Amino acid sequence: MSRLSFILRALSTALIELIVPVLAVLTGFVVFALLLFSLDRSPVEFASLIWKAGFGSAFAWENTLLRAAPLILLALCVALPARLGLVVIGGEGAMVIGGLTVAIVAPYLAPTLGVTGIVILSVVGALAGGLWIGAVGLLKSKRGVNETIASLLMTYVAIAVLNHLVTGPLRDPASLNKPSTLPVDTAFTLPGMNALNVHAGLWIGVVACLFFWWLIARTSLGFGARIVGANRQAAQWQGLPVSSLIIGFSFAGGACAGLAGAIEIMAVHKSANASLASGLGYSAILVAFLARHDPRAVLLVAVLMGGLEASSGLIQRRMDLPDATILVLQGVIFVVLLSSETLRGRPILGQSLTSFRHIVPGLHNKAATGAST
């Protein structure tokens, strides 16, 4: 009897976990549709263009997965530290540093190395990104430096270093219009996957997600991390190595982002230049939050977001909208998603709404006390 009710409760919890983000995305789309309406654009056309350019054909899927590959790894850079309660948003910087390091190291490797070279470069990129965000974790645990601000500041530093190196010391004299480093040897181009014309970086992302899901859900290390995320003080009292966990998970997240940069260099850009800072690191923040920092869900959400990113160009051309359109849509979904957090958990709808009363003078009463801060 109690077992049945336990199962029912677990099921309903799981259902709510799923329904809330899905509803948030739908609501976000509705709000965005109203915006399009007010601009005399057809939301139906918008949706059909996303479908067409993101998921409608084999070519569309290629484009989508090409963007999903870095998004998966970049979202892990948000999701892994988030399991310990950290809000790291500097994945973009770790990706830039990872890609840049690969472009620096690649010329020193003999092209005859082949696949071994690809592995070395991937490890180098991951290491660079890992140290970059690992430093954020170190500052957080040793000095109490706010990880959100620090990681974003470091992204600006990373982009400045990238611009400095590709326009100055590392510039390939042959790159005229777009200052770039020397191109990475074709021997180190990431091989493609069989069926689709997408590079193997997607598989790396899939493997990384499954590995980190296993690490968090099935190992004592992951259990420790979840305890730190739930209550850092309790974790400290339990004797858990809180500092090491924070630094380690930050390193792991950064390594994923650095790997994303390495893959972008080896498979897409071929040399480091300004396009390495593509902004995907920011889209990945939304991916991780939508996935509720669950690596399995990251896979699914990253593919959906990849489709959205892939359709951006077509939407711009066909509907005569600015390139920031997708940014606005992502922002709207993000805001709605975060607001929907209030629907989660014990209290029901009504209570959280009363907290609005404080804003209107006179309406303030004891009912507002239920709202936490």
Partner 1 sequence: MTGVELGWWGVPLAMLAGALRVSVPFIWVSLGECLTERAGRINLGLEGTLVLGAMSAYAIAVETGSPWLGVLAALLIGAVWGALHSSLCSLARVNDIAVGIALMLLGIGVAWFVGKPYIQPQAPDLPALSLGFWSDIAQLQAALTISWLLVLGVFTAIALHIFFRYTTLGLIVRTVGDSHDAARAMGYSPLRVRFWSTVCGSAMAGVGGASLSLFYPGSWNEGISSGQGLIAVALVIFARWQPLNCLWASLLFGGAGALGPALQSVGISEGYYLFYAAPYVITLMLLIMTSSPQGKLRGAPLELSITRH
Q: How far is the CB of 271 from partner 1 (least distance, A)?
A: 18
Which region among 105-113, 249-257, 304-312, 355-363 touches partner 1 (by CB under 8 A)?
Answer: 355-363
Q: Does 289 bind partner 1 (CB under 8 A)?
A: yes
* Residue 169 vs 239, nearer CB to partner 1: 169
Could you tell me the sign of the dihedral formed by the alpha carbons of 268, 273, 275, 277, in that order? positive
Give the one residue of 196, 226, 282, 314 binding partner 1; rule: CB under 8 A: 282
Q: Does 149 bind partner 1 (CB under 8 A)?
A: yes
207 CB contacts (<8 Å, ≥6 apart)? none
Which region among 2-10, 107-115, 294-302, 329-337 touches partner 1 (by CB under 8 A)?
Answer: 329-337
Q: Does 296 bind partner 1 (CB under 8 A)?
A: no
8 A C-beta contact, residue 188 and residue 118? yes
Residues in contact with partner 1, total (CB under 8 A)?
Answer: 62
Residues 89-118 that bind partner 1 (CB under 8 A): 89
Give the one residue of 27, 189, 197, 351 binding partner 1; rule: CB under 8 A: 351
Q: Name which of 353, 344, 346 is nearest 16 in CA terms.
A: 344
Q: How far is the CB of 269 from partner 1 (least distance, A)?
A: 19
**Radius of gyration, alpha carbons of the chain:** 22
Give the one residue of 154, 208, 260, 272 binding partner 1; rule: CB under 8 A: 154
Q: Does 38 bind partner 1 (CB under 8 A)?
A: no
DSSP letter for 114, please. T
8 A C-beta contact, residue 76 and residue 253? yes
Q: Name which of 68, 110, 128 is nearest 283 in CA terms.
A: 68
Q: Name which of 284, 230, 276 is nearest 256 in CA terms.
A: 284
CA atoms within 13 A of residue 223's CA, in its CB half-sphere = 4
Q: How far is the CB of 372 from partner 1 (least distance, A)?
A: 5
Q: Does 322 bind partner 1 (CB under 8 A)?
A: yes
